[in-house]
Amino acid sequence: MNKRKTIFDTTLRDGEQTPGVSLTNEQKLKIARQLDKLGVDVLEAGFPISSQGEKQNVRAIASEGLTLDVCGLARVLPKDLDACIDCGVDMVHTFVSTSDIQRIHTIKKSREEVVTMAVDAVERIKEHGVKCMFSAMDATRTDLDYLTEIFRAVEGAGCDIINVPDTVGVMSPSRMYNLVNSIYKEVNIPIDVHCHNDFGIAVANSLMAVEAGASQVQCTVNGIGERAGNANLAQVVMSLHSIYGAKTNINTEYLLETSKMVENFTGIRSPPNTPIVGDNAFAHESGIHTHGVLEQSDTFEPGIMTPEMVGHKRRIVVGKHAGKHAVKKSLDDMGIETTEEQLDEILVRIKDIANKGKRICDADLHAVASAVLGRNLGQETIILKEFSVMTGNLTTPTAVVRATVGDEEAVASNFGVGPIDAALKAVEEMMGGYTKIKVRDFSLEAITGGSDALAEVTISVEDEDGRVVSAQSASADIATASVDALITAINILLEKKKLWTMQ
């Protein structure tokens, strides 16, 4: 663990093989630049032989002038190898099936033929002065003696690094350790691992492989990929850093930022309880937990990993399990002062609402505090006057919003992929001259049945300083509920901003 471990990212290759995911060339370039900023060592840009468009994408990334090594994937076939080399990549990752089940039923080659093909491929790559990684596909279901034989053969041909893939995700952590350690004792070149998450243990298998001697781990952002996906980059990296004390080149403060970019481009959202980058990764609701965290953060957090290390923020959430300390902290953040008796009453009312199955938003807490204190708290900076949305199968969804912002009237319009998107973007644009805000989360739930169902919208907004506020609204008109919730959230956020500015 004293030696620096390297991170091989395959988000743009295996990650894009996630069913339903298809990235544009521009999106791939943006992700590649972000991964370079993050500090990954090798980026697998794609599989050039698969299509002309894929080859163009790989060539474009290879010509970006990134600090990291750009890698292309290729079978052990001359046309595949040449397609990668033509793209100007720094490394070619070539692979061939080695397990009996794949070798016999897919490529229909003998063991001897596979060894020859692998050696020829490595030699062809090295003749062009390019780095070479050789992967024994389905290595974890390959006979160990034969696997060792083929790895020794490619090492002799000049291969730079070998990959041990758990192609169908069937290894247990202890078996992964034993396999990699056996290979580590037989070869003299670096070992890389590529673990799939079919049983939810890709990260564990990857870490055990590192314990056994592997020096490089293949990951994807958010763990996306074929079937159940690949080893999650953030989880692998933070485990290496915080639990093992190992070093990588990853700039961990960009982990959340990178995760959100890939979420937006792929449409694959991470559950809130996702480790490291999930919305709840550093969120606390339980009264016992929030009390402890507010006194000393590592009472109920790992301590060896803080939210700031990964670009995250700690959140105190008010809900049915909340205690006085959490409610008081949230009220303090809003600039609302109470007596002990008022705080007790606010807590009782909040729990009554939560016990009915309702999620408590900042707007709810604000409204309850207003009722208990018997006065309006704060001032509405934005007052909606009107908004309209135009949409249809022959029309690009367009929204126009008119509101009073402070003492001025503001009007904004914008386009979107749908009427709600257009309306929210119009409000964001309208606020552009006052404060930078963005919609962080949006959820919609029908709370009655029928075509005229009442819909409840929950929105979280974030300002440029990372402060987040949530609000809800319900209406039979989804666009109306969305705009109302957004403006409520912005008003509360602006009140918080004033308080923070005064402090």
Across 41-174, the runs of DSSP E, i.e. the strands, are: 42-46, 69-75, 91-97, 131-137, 161-166
Q: Is the pTM of this model over 0.85?
A: no
pLDDT score of 503: 44
Handedness of CA 98, 103, 107, 110 (dihedral sign): positive
Q: Are residues 235 and 275 in contact, defined by beta-carbon separation less than 8 angstroms?
A: yes
- Answer whether 334's CB lies under 8 Å from 495's CB: yes
> Is residue 148 within 8 Å of residue 164, measured between CB atoms?
no
In the 3-class helix/strand/coil scheme, how is 168-187 assigned residue by residue?
A: CCCCCHHHHHHHHHHHHCCC
User: Taking the CA atoms of the chain, what radius of gyration do you get in angstroms?
Assistant: 27
**Domain assignments of the chain as residue spans, ordered by start:** 6-266, 283-373, 382-502
Is 325:291 a contact under the CB 8 Å cutoff?
yes
Torsion-angle region of 204 (φ positive above 0: left; ψ -120 to 50: alpha; else: beta): alpha
* CATH 3.30.160.270 correct for 382-502: yes
User: Cα separation of 424 and 426, whole Å?
Assistant: 5
Sequential DSSP letters for 326-378: HHHHHHHHTT----HHHHHHHHHHHHHHHTTTPPPPHHHHHHHHHHHHTS--S
Q: Angle CA(421)–CA(16)–CA(260) in degrees, nearest 5?
A: 45
DSSP secondary structure of 116-146: HHHHHHHHHHHHTT-EEEEEEETGGGS-HHH
Report the Cα 145 to chain-centroid distance in Å: 39
Q: Give me the DSSP letters along 302-314.
A: -SSS-GGGGT---
Instruction: Answer for the pair 73, 84: CB distance below 8 angstroms, yes or no.
Output: yes
pLDDT per residue, tens digit, the chain (503 aa), is: 778 999 999 999 999 999 999 999 999 999 999 999 999 999 999 999 999 999 999 999 999 999 999 999 999 999 999 999 999 999 999 999 999 999 999 999 999 999 999 999 999 999 999 999 999 999 999 999 999 999 999 999 999 999 999 999 999 999 999 999 999 999 999 999 999 999 999 999 999 999 999 999 999 999 999 999 999 999 999 999 999 999 999 999 999 999 999 999 999 999 999 999 998 899 887 767 776 877 788 888 898 999 999 999 887 778 778 778 888 888 887 778 889 989 988 888 888 888 877 778 877 887 788 788 876 656 678 888 998 999 887 678 999 999 988 888 889 999 988 888 898 889 888 887 677 788 888 888 776 666 666 778 889 888 877 778 888 888 888 888 899 888 888 888 887 766 544 44
CATH architecture of 6-266: Alpha-Beta Barrel (3.20)
At position 398, the amino acid (one-letter code) is T
Answer yes or no: are the C-beta atoms of 419 and 391 closer than 8 Å.
Answer: yes
